[in-house]
C-alpha cells in the first residue's frame, strides 16, 4: 500500500512538471509571436515610408538604411537640431579627402540631414539642448545624369508627423533649401558640412 502512495505522488509531480513545462513553452511561443508581429508592424511602417517619392523624383527608398549611416557632422539653428549622416560611398570619399582635394563626390553619394525640435534637458546637471520631436529628413543624392543642372545633386524633404508616426513627401520639396542654397558652397561640391574630426 505504501508503494502505491509513493507512485501516485510521483505521478502527480510528473504531471505538474509537464503542465509547468507546457505552460512555459506556450508562454515563450506567445512572446515570440508578439515580437514577430511587432517587427512586421515596424517593417510595414518602413515599407510605407520607402514608397514615398518627392516632386523632384527622389525616392525615399534610395536612402534605405540611413538610420544606421555614419555621422558626418551636426548643426544647430534657433529652430532645429541637425545630425548629418552619409552613406558608405560618401563617407569613403570624405576619408579620401573629398572635397578638400579638389575632387567631386562620386555618383551614388547620399547624405541625410535629420532634424529635431530641441528641448532643454531636464536630466543633465548643466544646460544643454537635446532632440525632442523628430521633424524631417532632408536628403541629397549625387547623380550627374539625373541632376545635371544642379551640379549633379538632387534634393528632397520628407516630413515626419509625430502624432501620426508617419512620413510624407514635402509637396514644395525642397522647401527650406536646395540647389539655390547650396550654390554658396559650389567649391566644396555643393556640400556644407565637412567630415568632422573624431
pLDDT top residue among 66 and 173: 66
The 3-state DSSP class for residue 51 equals coil
Averaged over 159-164, what is the pLDDT? 95
Residue 172 pLDDT class (50, 70, 90 cuts): confident
What are the strands of the beta sheet with 81-86, ordered from one edge? 70-76, 81-86, 110-120, 129-142, 153-161, 166-169
Q: What is the pLDDT of residues 22-64, one digit of tens each?
A: 454 544 444 455 555 444 444 455 668 999 999 989 999 999 9
Q: What is the reported pLDDT for 41?
A: 47
**Mean per-residue pLDDT of the chain:** 84
Q: Is-contact 79 176, C-beta < 8 A?
A: no
pLDDT at 184 exceeding the cut of 60:
yes
Q: What is the reported pLDDT for 10?
A: 58
Query: Pick from 25, 77, 42, 57: which is nearest to 156 by CA?
Result: 57
Residue 145 pLDDT class (50, 70, 90 cuts): very high
The 3-state DSSP class for residue 170 equals coil
* Whole-angstrom distance, CA of residue 80 vs CA of residue 26: 47
Q: What is the reported pLDDT for 159?
A: 96
Averaged over 63-75, what is the pLDDT? 97
Averaged over 3-30, what is the pLDDT? 54
Averaged over 55-81, what is the pLDDT? 95
Task: Give the CA angle between residues 171, 43, 64 to the nearest 5°.
Answer: 55
CA-CA distances (angstroms) from residue 169 to 50, 58, 157?
Answer: 11, 10, 6
Averaged over 162-172, what is the pLDDT? 93
Query: Pick from 63, 174, 162, 67: which is nearest to 116 by CA?
Result: 162
* Whole-angstrom distance, CA of residue 42 vs CA of residue 10: 48
Averaged over 86-112, what is the pLDDT? 97
Q: What is the reported pLDDT for 15?
A: 61
Amino acid at each position: 500500500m505504501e508503494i502505491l502512495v509513493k507512485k501516485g505522488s510521483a505521478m502527480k509531480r510528473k504531471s505538474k512538471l509537464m503542465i509547468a513545462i507546457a505552460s512555459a513553452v506556450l508562454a515563450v511561443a506567445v512572446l515570440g509571436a508578439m515580437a514577430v508581429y511587432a517587427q512586421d508592424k515596424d517593417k510595414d511602417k518602413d515599407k510605407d515610408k520607402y514608397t514615398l517619392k518627392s516632386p523632384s523624383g527622389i525616392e525615399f527608398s534610395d536612402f534605405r538604411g540611413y538610420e544606421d549611416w555614419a555621422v558626418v557632422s551636426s548643426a544647430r539653428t534657433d529652430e532645429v537640431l541637425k545630425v548629418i549622416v552619409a552613406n558608405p560611398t560618401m563617407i569613403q570619399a570624405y576619408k579620401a579627402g573629398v572635397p578638400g582635394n579638389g575632387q567631386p563626390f562620386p555618383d551614388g553619394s547620399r547624405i541625410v540631414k535629420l532634424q529635431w525640435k530641441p528641448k532643454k534637458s531636464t536630466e543633465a546637471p548643466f544646460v544643454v539642448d537635446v532632440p525632442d520631436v523628430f521633424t524631417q529628413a532632408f536628403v541629397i543624392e549625387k547623380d550627374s545624369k539625373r541632376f545635371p543642372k544642379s551640379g549633379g545633386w538632387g534634393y528632397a524633404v520628407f516630413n515626419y508627423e509625430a502624432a501620426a508616426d508617419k512620413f510624407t513627401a514635402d509637396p514644395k520639396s525642397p522647401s527650406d533649401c536646395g540647389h539655390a542654397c547650396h550654390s554658396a558652397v559650389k567649391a566644396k561640391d555643393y556640400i556644407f558640412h565637412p567630415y568632422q574630426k573624431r
